[in-house]
């Protein structure tokens, strides 16, 4: 599944979430929610590395929590892209891929 298809599905889920939970998704919400999700990711990392409470969970359960929170962060990035009409694939290519040797040699960036 490519990023654009994931973005469309994530937007559909977020709409359902907003409707079911009576959440107002204004412009600020997207960035505030991103901050919340990065906090949850950090919390899972602290738990996995024995710097946070295990709360009776096994290491495998905490690892799964870390994966879930990373997915939440990705989803939130894609929701921001959807909301503000940002082509995140194009932006990633412009910002990151210019450092790849094959990208430079294809004449896409300053050498
Ligand atoms: Mg989360």
Q: How far is the centre of ligand 1, averaged over its atoms, from the C-alpha of 93 (Å)? A: 27
Residue 84 C-beta-side C-alpha neighbours within 13 Å: 14
Q: How far is the centre of ligand 1, averaged over its atoms, from the C-alpha of 69 (Å)? A: 5
Burial of 76 (0-12, 13-18, 19+ CB in 10 A): buried
Its pTM stands at: 0.89
Q: What CA–CA distance (Å, rounded) separates 52 from 77?
A: 26
Question: Does residue 54 form part of some domain?
Answer: yes
Q: How far is the centre of ligand 1, averaged over its atoms, from the C-alpha of 74 (Å)? A: 10
CB 42 within 8 A of CB 33: no
What is the model's pLDDT at position 104? 73
Number of domains in the chain: 1
CATH number at residue 95: 1.10.287
Q: How far is the centre of ligand 1, averaged over its atoms, from the C-alpha of 21 (Å)? A: 15
- Domain limits at 83? 3-105
Question: Does residue 40 form part of some domain?
Answer: yes
Q: How far is the centre of ligand 1, averaged over its atoms, from the C-alpha of 67 (Å)? A: 10
CB atoms inside a 10 Å sphere around CB 37: 19
| Mean pLDDT in order along the chain per 10 residues (111 residues) | 93 98 98 98 98 95 98 98 97 94 71 45
């Amino acid at each position: 599944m490519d990023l654009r298809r994931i973005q469309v599905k994530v937007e559909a889920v977020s709409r359902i979430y907003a409707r079911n939970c009576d959440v107002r998704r204004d412009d600020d919400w997207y960035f505030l929610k991103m901050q919340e999700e990065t906090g949850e990711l950090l919390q899972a990392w602290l738990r996995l590395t024995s710097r946070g409470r295990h709360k009776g969970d096994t290491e495998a359960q905490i690892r799964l929590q870390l994966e879930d929170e990373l997915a939440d962060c990705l989803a939130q990035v894609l929701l921001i892209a959807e909301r503000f009409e940002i082509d995140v694939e194009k932006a990633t290519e412009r910002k990151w891929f210019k450092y790849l040797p094959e990208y430079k040699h294809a004449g896409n960036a300053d050498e």
